[in-house]
Structure 1
Amino acid sequence: MNLLQQFDADQKARLTASRTTPAFQAGDTVRVMVKVVEGERTRTQAYEGVVIARSNKGLHSNFTVRKLSYGEGVERVFPLYSPNVAEITVVRRGKVRRAKLYYLRGRTGKSARIAERTMTRETAAPAAAPAPAAPAEATQG
């Protein structure tokens, strides 16, 4: 591992120690809490939309979120390990068959909707096994 890779790994470990990043992919609806500095104050602002792209490049990983604001499509690229991203929450899982959803840019209304991904038995947590029934006592009589 060269010096640059070692530096990236150290920085990634330092940034992930303070917060956990949920597993999400293109098609998921996420709420990103962004730190906004206004003069002396710092506050968090929510940005909720559909993830249309994700780029995994180690420390430089980023994802693009698209939302509709007053009828206009707005896209924003967030660095995954940015200190300005306070929290990422998955609101809804989407079922898509593409890694990049750039085709959503030209669609509005019903054609821009994404079906919800349902949990299958393999991905869902295993349910507790039912307790075995008590053996019936045999009476002879």
Structure 2
Amino acid sequence: MHQKLVEFNKNLRTARTDLPLLQAGDVVKVRRKIKEGEKTRIQMFQGMVIAIKGGQSSSPMVTIRKVSSGIGVEIILPLLSSQIDSIELVKRTKARRGKLYFVRTKSAKTIGKKLKEVPFEIGHAGKEVQDIVKEVQAATKAETTEVKAEEAKAE
């Protein structure tokens, strides 16, 4: 049962390889599809990732925070949601904690002192996701060759 669950999670995570691997402290641009009546439009939200819950599960949740006109705005999104059009990594910072809830009470100046900017490579899916995709493709290829061999023996 556990093995099936692991395979299920891998398959779901490989479905969206266009998403970057996020960490707490990253500044991202999220483009969400919003449906208003019959029309759909794309709304952009740029903010800092303050928490990722269920990072290894099939449906991780991301909390993104920004300050707009002096008011803090947070959105909580399922990372693999169909509402998300794209996620672009703007800036990567090194944080000492996994959840940055203390950011809610701090000013921008003190947050800048707490978080250290780190250079990053611009790319979508990380190496880990690409490795998982290759594993799944190799496994499906092996299964199809086994099925073809069994069919040939049966005939």
TM-score (norm 1): 0.72
2:51/2:100 contact within 8 Å kept: yes
Q: Structure 1 regions of 5+ residues with no counterpart? A: 120-141
What pairs with 1:1-141 in structure 2 (closer than 5 Å)? 1=1, 5=5, 8-9=8-9, 12=12, 15-16=15-16, 19-55=17-53, 56-113=55-112, 114-118=115-119
Q: Structure 2 regions of 5+ residues with no counterpart? A: 121-155
SS at match of 2:116: coil
Residues 63-86 of structure 1 deviation map (CA, whole Å, 9 limit, x = unaligned): 100000110111111101100011
Once residues 110 and 94 of structure 1 are traced to their aligned partners in structure 2, the CA distance between those partners, rounded to angstroms, is 15
Post-superposition shift, 1:15?
Answer: 3.9
Residues 24-80 of structure 1 deviation map (CA, whole Å, 9 limit, x = unaligned): 200010001100001111111111000000121522211100000110111111101
Once residues 10 and 103 of structure 1 are traced to their aligned partners in structure 2, the CA distance between those partners, rounded to angstroms, is 32
Q: CA RMSD in A?
A: 2.4
Once residues 119 and 80 of structure 2 are traced to their aligned partners in structure 1, the CA distance between those partners, rounded to angstroms, is 28
Amino acid at match of 1:20: D
| More helix per residue | 2
TM-score (norm 2): 0.66
1:15/1:83 contact within 8 Å kept: no
SS at match of 1:21: coil
Identity %: 36
Aligned residues: 117
Amino acid at match of 1:12: L
Corresponding residue number in structure 1 for 2:124: none
Which portions of structure 1, spanning 4 or more consecutive aligned residues, are displaced by more than 6 angstroms?
none
